[in-house]
Amino acid sequence: MDERKDHWSPADYQHSASFVPKLAGKIIQWLNLQKDDIVLDIGCGDGVLDAEFSKVLAQGAGTLHGIDSSESMIQSARELCADAPNCTFEVLDAAQLASNTSLQKGAYTKVFSNAALHWILRAEVTRRSFFAGVHAALAPGGHLAFEMGGLGNVAEMRTALLMAVSRRVGMPAALAADPWFFPDETWATAVLEEAGFRVDRAEREWRPTQADKGGVEGWVRLMGGRFLDAVPEEEREDVVREAVEVLREVCRNPAGGETISYVRLRCLATKI
């Protein structure tokens, strides 16, 4: 599996996961953005939220720098925020944040991340160094506000993909392809405190979410791309069909459409 492959398409994201930024209201409240804030957005995606943040920052001297490992998403963010001179964007793998000296200057008043850390923290070796990097990027008293998948997130989707992939390449290979890490609030509190943060709020919420226009099939093709890479190319459509066949029933909402069992982990922490 090529970790450098860009699995993201802004068009596919809008078709199958446009609800992700739309449902970020609570963590945005926790962020409590002010007009003079200096913001680092980790895993900024296509910039939909940054375009809204830029309007607040434009009222003062605030700025925003968004990073994402996907070149296509960064390009989309730049285009969306082309009229926002207070926003800049950079292709950067946030798992390498701690070694990026340009971001380790204690200049940011706030670090924000929505629906990205469960990808970024997938490799165990990066977890503590990542939060140490965030701590170094923040000014004293600065705040980190993030929302990510929490323990139990999209369990039915993950199970269907693991089973369909493992039938072809074996469970060890399927688990190696699993791109996500879904912790609970106890884990998050411990790792944040270890990195030098005071944890002000931490919660986990079950939030059943209506599938987007692409349905569960669109979700599997978009979010499950790394799983599919573990299977020979000629078998990938069979994997999709097998996973989707069961998910359409498991996720079927009698009132219409399909519902995915999202579990969100939110944290607000202060650098001390």
- Token pair belonging to 98: 């701690």
> Over 111-173, what HEC string results?
EEEECCHHHHCCCHHHHHHHHHHHHHHEEEEEEEEEEEECCCCCHHHHHHHHHHHHHHHCHHH
pLDDT for 226-249, tens place per residue? 999 999 999 999 999 999 999 999
**Does the pLDDT of residue 142 top 50, yes or no?**
yes
Q: What's the predicted TM-score (pTM) here?
A: 0.90
pLDDT-derived band at 57 (thresholds 50, 70, 90) equals very high
Neighbouring residues of 22: CB distance < 8 A, sequence distance ≥ 6: none
Distance CA 112, CA 30 (A): 10
Q: Residue 122: its pLDDT value, please?
A: 94
Distance CA 128, CA 187 (A): 11
Cα angle 216, 174, 74; round to 5: 60
Neighbouring residues of 223: CB distance < 8 A, sequence distance ≥ 6: 16, 17, 154, 157
Half-sphere exposure of 244 (CA within 13 A, CB side): 18
pLDDT for 76-86, tens place per residue? 999 999 999 99
Q: What residues form DSSP beta bridges with 64? A: 39, 87
**Does the pLDDT of residue 32 top 90, yes or no?**
yes
Mean pLDDT (the chain, rounded): 92
- The single-letter code of the amino acid at 146 is F
pLDDT for 169-208, tens place per residue? 999 999 999 999 999 999 999 999 999 999 999 999 999 9
pLDDT for 9-19, tens place per residue? 555 545 454 55
How far from chain centre, in Å, is Cα 207? 16
**Does the pLDDT of residue 265 top 80, yes or no?**
yes
**Does the pLDDT of residue 28 top 90, yes or no?**
yes
Q: Residue 234: its pLDDT value, please?
A: 97
**Does the pLDDT of residue 60 top 80, yes or no?**
yes
Mean pLDDT of 127-140: 96
Q: What is the DSSP letter of 269?
A: E
**Does the pLDDT of residue 102 top 70, yes or no?**
yes
Q: Residue 15: its pLDDT value, please?
A: 46
Domain 10-271: which CATH number of 3.90.1170.20, 3.40.50.970, 1.20.1630.10, 3.40.50.150: 3.40.50.150
Angle between helices 185-194 and 127-137 (to 10 degrees): 60
- The helix (run of H) or strand (run of E) holding residue 245 is helix 236-250
* Segments of the chain assigned E as strands: 38-42, 63-68, 87-91, 108-114, 138-149, 197-210, 259-271
Which CA distances in Å does 12 have to 9, 217, 220, 239, 245?
5, 12, 11, 19, 21
pLDDT-derived band at 120 (thresholds 50, 70, 90) equals very high
Mean pLDDT of 142-162: 98
| Contact (CB, 8 A) for 24 and 49 | yes
**Does the pLDDT of residue 90 top 80, yes or no?**
yes
**Does the pLDDT of residue 1 top 50, yes or no?**
no
